Amino acid sequence: MDIPRIFNITESAHRIHNPITPEKLATLGAALRLKAGARVLDLGSGSGEMLCTWARDHDVIGTGIDLSQLFTEQAKLRAVELGVADRATFIHGDAAGYVSDDKADVAACVGATWIGGGVAGTIELLAQSLRPGGIILVGEPFWRQLPPTEDVAKGCLAHSISDFLMLPELLASFGQQGYDVVEMVLADQDGWDRYEAAKWLTMRRWLEANPDDELAKEVRGQLTSEPERYAAYTREYLGWGVFALMPR
Ligand code: SAH
């Protein structure tokens, strides 16, 4: 049980698997006014940077679930490194349908909303683990500029323009689902560079170490084409943010 191996290769050196930076992750933690002892559930917790740093900085108690064995191992190591292994627990597993017995003060899914079959389904899933008065966090892309053609959307690795909304429409969609948007922290192009460009050096080094691997051809192809594709499409057209929601 794991994610496709290509992601475990290209993102093996990432601490944050999203265009949010460490600084913005800290801004988000502060913006939520987290209290010591607050429980945070994170579906698709990746390498655990959000839970580990918030446990360190705000004394929260976190549980993360992630399908990548590698990222989950890295999250556990990061918790030890930051001295929060007693407060940040990481489980390797499928988070689809995961509902926690201990209701959370913050229930998050940051950049993995396919876990609940899309944004709406993920909000419904997270709501089942939320205590009254708690906050749902959803990390999701939106169109920074509307792609003029479907080909441009595909250049952003979307299936179609309809995959994402413009920011005002995305915010409105939360209201239509019965939620107040109570905070948000948005990524910027520098943050996208940290997420996307960091893959290139990882791919280059991996190729040097694994020239005969069955994925070497695919990784070589990506390293050759990704910088230009990314600069032409994702960097220009795609925005990304974490949105904090409370039921109305
Ligand atoms: N929230 C983290 C990771 C985002 S990347 C961060 O911001 O750094 C998306 C994550 O979802 C990856 O870590 C991937 O392993 C995980 N994932 C994908 N499908 C999953 C599933 N069904 N259940 C749990 N995690 C999943």
Q: What is the mean pLDDT of each run of 10 residues along the chain (248 residues)?
A: 97 98 98 98 98 98 98 98 98 98 97 98 98 98 98 98 98 98 98 98 98 98 98 98 98
The pLDDT value given to residue 219: 98
**Ligand 1 centre distance from Cα of residue 117 (Å):** 13
The pLDDT value given to residue 138: 98
| Ligand 1 touching residue 96 (CB < 6 A) | yes
The pLDDT value given to residue 227: 98
| Ligand 1 touching residue 75 (CB < 6 A) | no
| Ligand 1 touching residue 110 (CB < 6 A) | yes
Neighbours of 94 (CB within 10 A): 12
Percent of the chain with pLDDT over 90: 100
d(CA 223, CA 201): 9
pLDDT, tens digit, 9 for 90 and up, residues 29-48: 999 999 999 999 999 999 99
| Ligand 1 touching residue 111 (CB < 6 A) | yes
Nearest to 67 by CA among 88, 92, 43, 48: 92
Closest ligand 1 atom, residue 114 Cα:
19
Q: What is the pTM of this model?
A: 0.97
| Ligand 1 touching residue 97 (CB < 6 A) | no
d(CA 122, CA 226): 29
